[in-house]
Structure 1
Amino acid sequence: MVPPLVLDIDGTMTLPDDSIDPRFFEVLPAWDAPVVVATGKSFPYPVALCHFMYLEQNVVAENGGIVLAREQVTKNGDAAAARRVAEAYREAGYDLGWGPADLTNRWRETELAVARDQPLGPLEEIAAEHGLEVVDTGYAYHVKSPGVEKGRGLKSVARLLDRDPEEFVAIGDSENDVSTFGVAGESYAVANADAKAARAADVVLEQSYSEGTLAVLDDLRRRG
């Protein structure tokens, strides 16, 4: 029997060019256990990914800010405070960094994402004034409520799926995956992982990006 999975998207299911590795469209629908997609992206992204992969929609989005399993949606985090941070950051003369359409935040419900080429220090100061914190995922600066994490989201999903969180195998690459690694029973960081994720994982893989993740899944199938 294969174990349930909790998989990050960016840097974990993607190729170096940020596209989803097409092999997952064959591997994951055939996985004979729940698959949870856990990401810092806004809610529609992982929901759509599950839809097009024909996967049950088990989702931890916005770094744990919003969770979906068994058709139940749970929101965490102070969305109003995140909007106030965005307003104050702009008033201070800075920009969120995503252009006029801002597709990164357009559908975000519980937090704020700021491009990593924008000033971090002022963002952290403004976030702290509103009782929020900033997490660097390697892809964006995420302004979120303290205590809202992917690991907490995994606990919620596992409860809805009648599973123990320690049954899950987690694979990720970023600081925001550290809490997931602490909740799952077995954890892997791909070779391109940041230092915090690498320290927190049970195993740091030799392969990067999707190659590392697919190698773990192949090994889990063999063991099962």
Structure 2
Amino acid sequence: MVPPLAVDIDGTLSRADRSIDSRVLDVLREWDAPVVVATGKALPYPVALCGFIGVPERVVAENGGVSYDRDRDRLHFHGDREAAQDVVDEYVARGHSLGWGDVDLVNRWRETEVAVSRDQPLAPLREIAEKHGLHVVDTGFAYHVKSPGMHKGRALESLVADLDYAMGDFVAVGDSANDVELLEAVGTGYAVANADDDAKAAADHVVAGAYADGFLDAVDAALAE
């Protein structure tokens, strides 16, 4: 049987330059079980990706802050944008920047967290977040200020509740610290070779390939089980 699949985008479906490797598109479109795209990006990005691939819009966005299932017309929020905004407002008041410029498309559509560029200082951001009772996760692409208990694993559970599957039926593929809870929550977790140490430790298997090559290795292994 083909297992349901949850997969990250950046570092997992992409090349090293963050462009999507076209080889993954047909794999996802032809996957004979539910596919959940689980990312740190804001909701419009995975929704658009699903539309371009040609799979139902079933997504986890903002590191677990949002989950959406088009078929069941369900949208869930799992985080607090106002609390995260309070953190970054204090961060900016201390003389720092979010690092995205005046337009800031990175945060424009975020509803449950705020992302800060990794070229900005991390220590004061973590200090302020802890004071407010929030967490900062380094995804390797940005620093994300988010609510405690908000993660991809929890958000996936909110989608699985409406599917004819259990969490243990799912296979997940990821590469970053924000994938840890997802990899731990599913039946089988795969980390690609470029994954950080936390993701590798959380996964059941670490594949030989990096980036999209690793994703292809993982799905081949999942189908072989």
Whole-angstrom CA distance in 1 between matches of 2:178 and 2:16: 19
Q: Deviations over 1:86-116 (max 9, x none)?
A: 2111111000011111111010000010011
Corresponding residue for residue 59 of structure 2: 59
Corresponding residue for residue 122 of structure 1: 124
Secondary structure at the counterpart of residue 36 of structure 1: strand
Secondary structure at the counterpart of residue 56 of structure 1: coil
**Matching of residues 185-200 of structure 1 within 5 Å:** 185-200=187-202
Instruction: Report if aligned partners of 2:139, 2:176 keep a CA contact under 8 Å in 1.
Output: yes
TM-score, normalised relative to structure 2? 0.96
Work out which of the residue numbers 83, 94, 111 in structure 2 matches 1:81. 83
Whole-angstrom CA distance in 2 between matches of 1:150 and 1:73: 15
Corresponding residue for residue 179 of structure 1: 181
Matched AA of 2:54: Y
Secondary structure at the counterpart of residue 215 of structure 1: helix
Matched, 1:161 2:160: no
TM-score, normalised relative to structure 1? 0.97
Identical amino acids, percent of aligned pairs = 56
The alignment yields a C-alpha RMSD, in angstroms, of 1.0
Matched AA of 2:101: G
Secondary structure at the counterpart of residue 160 of structure 1: coil
Whole-angstrom CA distance in 1 between matches of 2:202 and 2:222: 20
Aligned residues: 223
Secondary structure at the counterpart of residue 152 of structure 1: helix
User: Which runs of 4 or more aligned residues in structure 1 lie more than 6 Å from their structure 2 counterparts after TM superposition?
Assistant: none
Whole-angstrom CA distance in 2 between matches of 1:187 and 1:140: 23
**Matching of residues 42-53 of structure 1 within 5 Å:** 42-53=42-53
Corresponding residue for residue 102 of structure 2: 100
Q: Deviations over 1:190-213 (max 9, x none)?
A: 000001001111111111000010
Alpha-carbon deviation of 1:222? 4.5
Instruction: Report if aligned partners of 2:78, 2:155 keep a CA contact under 8 Å in 1.
Output: no
Corresponding residue for residue 137 of structure 1: 139
Unmatched 5+ residue regions in structure 1? none
Matched AA of 1:98: W
Unmatched 5+ residue regions in structure 2? none
